[in-house]
């Protein structure tokens, strides 16, 4: 389940990253985004002092940054809704791929395929040779490597050459893959300069970008 962040903290972090809430009350802007279906409904929690405060999923920060980027490019509300729908569906698919149920089915199908290959090999239809040794491995281990367990979309802010992407599920020894969806000139190179367990990763370019530049990212074991 996504971690929760208080409304006050969400607004403060969003402003520090360049989100423009306009001249009105930022709370009203969040309520409007919720009404549009861009943000989930907030959850009310009681703190240690007995005060009831609203909270949003921590991932709402990245959503606000994504919305801000689209608005800066002149996107209409309809276009923003469509892009957010695609983004959310992609994240749902990744989440389902990480689910224990999907993994169980995948292992079952892999085991079945291996048995079929062994049977065909025994009949002499095909010759597996030394590759038959794979049957001695635990089928579950075959899919343990390079398993994607996190993904998302973020952007490098205008006139900046680095950005830190928050991903609380980051595990030690993980690998991060990045693909830009837009031209990131005048920069010519980019790399992941820092990976912090249970925190996220930092993407860095050799030169500050001339405008907000979007990229997709994946994390695997």
**Residue 52 and residue 82 in one domain:** yes
pLDDT band at residue 119, thresholds of 50, 70 and 90?
A: low
CATH number of 39's domain: 1.10.1660.10
What single-letter DSSP state applies at residue 136? G
CA distance to 7, 8, 30, per residue, from 53 (Å) = 8, 9, 14
Question: Residues 37-60: pLDDT tens digits?
Answer: 999 998 988 877 778 889 999 989
**Residue 1 and residue 84 in one domain:** yes
**Residue 9 and residue 53 in one domain:** yes
Range of 111's domain? 99-142
Structure confidence at residue 113 (pLDDT)? 84
What single-letter DSSP state applies at residue 210? S
Mean pLDDT confidence for 122-130: 56
CA distance to 44, 45, 87, per residue, from 51 (Å) = 10, 8, 34
φ/ψ (deg, to 5) at 171? -110, 150
Query: Of 68, 88, 108, at which residue does a domain stop?
Result: 88
pTM of the model as a whole: 0.43
- Domain count of the fold of the chain: 3
What single-letter DSSP state applies at residue 42? P
In a domain, 93, yes or no: no
**Residue 57 and residue 118 in one domain:** no
Query: Of 57, 88, 119, at which residue does a domain stop?
Result: 88
Residue with the larger pLDDT of the pair 26 and 118: 26
**Residue 7 and residue 83 in one domain:** yes
CA distance to 61, 114, 145, 153, per residue, from 181 (Å) = 20, 38, 26, 10
In a domain, 80, yes or no: yes
**Residues 42-70: b if buried by 16+ CB within 10 A, e if exposed:** beeeeeeeeeeebbbbbbbbbbbbbbbbb
- 156 pLDDT higher than 60: yes
């Amino acid at each position: 389940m996504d971690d929760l962040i208080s409304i006050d903290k969400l607004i403060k972090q969003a402003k520090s990253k360049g989100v423009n809430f306009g001249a009105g009350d930022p709370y009203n802007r969040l309520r409007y985004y919720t009404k549009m279906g861009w943000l989930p409904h907030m959850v009310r929690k009681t703190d240690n002092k007995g005060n009831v405060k609203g909270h949003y999923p921590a991932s709402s920060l990245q959503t606000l940054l994504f919305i801000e980027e689209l608005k800066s490019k002149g996107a209409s509300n309809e276009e923003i809704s469509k892009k957010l729908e695609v983004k959310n569906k992609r994240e749902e698919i990744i989440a389902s791929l990480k689910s224990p149920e999907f993994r169980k089915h995948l292992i079952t199908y892999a085991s079945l395929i291996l048995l079929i290959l062994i049977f065909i090999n025994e009949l002499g239809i095909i010759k597996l040779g030394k590759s038959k040794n794979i049957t001695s491995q635990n089928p579950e281990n075959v899919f343990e490597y390079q398993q994607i367990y996190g993904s998302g979309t973020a952007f490098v802010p205008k006139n900046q050459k680095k950005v830190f992407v928050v991903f609380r599920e980051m595990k030690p020894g993980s690998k991060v893959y990045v693909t830009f969806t837009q031209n990131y000139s005048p920069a010519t190179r980019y790399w992941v300069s820092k990976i912090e367990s249970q925190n996220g990763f930092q993407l860095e370019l050799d030169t500050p970008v001339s405008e907000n530049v979007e990229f997709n990212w994946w994390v695997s074991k």
